[in-house]
């Protein structure tokens, strides 16, 4: 097995407050892993830490065996990590196509632009139909597809998806989750970050539970789906 991501005992502070405590997470190449946590648990802070936005004063983060703990975000993206940010953060006044172009900023991705656009269009045909449309006028589900497409334009090996289902209807969420399986077949390793757990766990191999900045439980998705505490706290059962 190739270790894609290895986060070892990181502590993260924002201002005076410690947000993540001695947090460790591993993701193997080809896996789909879910990080589950309630609002305010520290999920986005974790995503931003992997991306190099926050640097831990202690602990390490390695990507494909390379220490990236102190690297700036642009270098980490260049190595093959990308993210679909919480709330999507599209360039709403730009077209679908222009948003995709914006995602292809690492030099290697730039030269493969046309090919990557075709790849994204094959995954999300609706984006091809709407390529000249202004992003802000797309439906919520289409905007989420565009956010995923933009993240794919940097040709990531590891994709972090921060609350894919946020603000989307159950039907659309299900549709979006269908693309998770496609991405996995395309060889992209996925880390799903969610509050709403049932779908995420059903589409992943393993999961971690984050509670007020600490990993309190981990296991296969099957185990977590069957866990009494998880069912009550995260699955609404």
Binding site for ligand ADP (CB under 6 A): 14-15, 17, 19, 37, 39-45
Query: Which DSSP letter does residue 209 get?
Result: E
Minimum CB separation from ligand ADP for residue 134, in Å? 28
Query: Which of the choices ligand ADP, Mg ion, none does residue 39 contact, using the CB cut-off of 5 to 8 A by kind?
Result: ligand ADP
Of the pair 5, 109, the CB lying nearest ligand ADP is at: 5
Query: Which of the choices Mg ion, ligand ADP, none does residue 59 contact, using the CB cut-off of 5 to 8 A by kind?
Result: none
- Nearest residue to 37 via CA among 219, 162, 179: 162
Query: Which of the choices Mg ion, ligand ADP, none does residue 71 contact, using the CB cut-off of 5 to 8 A by kind?
Result: none
Of the pair 37, 106, the CB lying nearest ligand ADP is at: 37
Minimum CB separation from ligand ADP for residue 17, in Å? 5
For residue 139 the two structure tokens come to: 């439906």
Of the pair 18, 122, the CB lying nearest ligand ADP is at: 18
Of the pair 104, 200, the CB lying nearest ligand ADP is at: 200
For residue 215 the two structure tokens come to: 């990993």
Q: Are the C-beta atoms of residues 140 and 168 closer than 8 Å to each other?
A: yes
Query: Which of the choices Mg ion, ligand ADP, none does residue 16 contact, using the CB cut-off of 5 to 8 A by kind?
Result: none
Query: Which of the choices ligand ADP, Mg ion, none does residue 52 contact, using the CB cut-off of 5 to 8 A by kind?
Result: none
Minimum CB separation from ligand ADP for residue 12, in Å? 9
CA distance 160 to 163: 10
CA distance 231 to 36: 12
Minimum CB separation from ligand ADP for residue 42, in Å? 4
Of the pair 45, 116, the CB lying nearest Mg ion is at: 45
CA distance 191 to 27: 8
Residue-by-residue DSSP string for 100-161: HHHH--SHHHHHTHHHHHHHHHHH-HHHHHTTTSBGGGS-HHHHHHHHHHHHHTT--SEEEE
Query: Which of the choices Mg ion, ligand ADP, none does residue 174 contact, using the CB cut-off of 5 to 8 A by kind?
Result: none
Minimum CB separation from ligand ADP for residue 127, in Å? 27
C-alpha dihedral over 115, 118, 120, 124, to 10 degrees?
-170
Minimum CB separation from Mg ion for residue 41, in Å? 8
Q: Are the C-beta atoms of residues 189 and 159 closer than 8 Å to each other?
A: yes
SS3 at position 218: strand
Binding site for Mg ion (CB under 5 A): 43-44, 86
Of the pair 53, 134, the CB lying nearest ligand ADP is at: 53
């Amino acid at each position: 097995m190739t270790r894609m991501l290895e986060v070892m005992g990181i502590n993260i502070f924002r201002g005076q407050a410690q947000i993540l405590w001695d947090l460790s997470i591993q993701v193997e190449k080809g896996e789909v892993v879910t990080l589950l946590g309630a609002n305010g648990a520290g999920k986005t802070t974790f995503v931003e830490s992997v991306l190099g936005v926050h640097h831990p004063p202690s602990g390490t983060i390695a990507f494909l065996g390379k220490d990236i703990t102190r690297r700036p975000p642009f270098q980490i993206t260049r190595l093959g990590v990308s993210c679909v940010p919480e709330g999507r953060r599209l360039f709403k006044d730009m077209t679908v196509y222009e948003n995709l172009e914006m995602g292809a900023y690492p030099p290697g991705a730039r030269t493969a632009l046309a090919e990557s656009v075709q790849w994204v269009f094959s995954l999300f045909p609706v984006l091809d139909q709407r390529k000249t449309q202004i992003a802000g006028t797309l439906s919520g589900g289409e905007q989420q597809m565009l956010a995923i497409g933009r993240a794919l334009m940097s040709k990531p090996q590891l994709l972090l998806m921060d609350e894919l289902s946020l603000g989307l209807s159950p039907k659309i969420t299900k549709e979006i989750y269908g693309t998770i399986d496609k991405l996995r077949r395309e060889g992209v390793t996925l880390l799903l970050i969610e509050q709403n757990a049932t779908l995420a766990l059903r589409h992943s191999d393993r999961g971690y539970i984050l509670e007020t900045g600490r990993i309190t439980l981990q296991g296969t998705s099957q185990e977590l789906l069957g866990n009494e505490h998880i069912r009550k706290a995260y699955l609404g059962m």
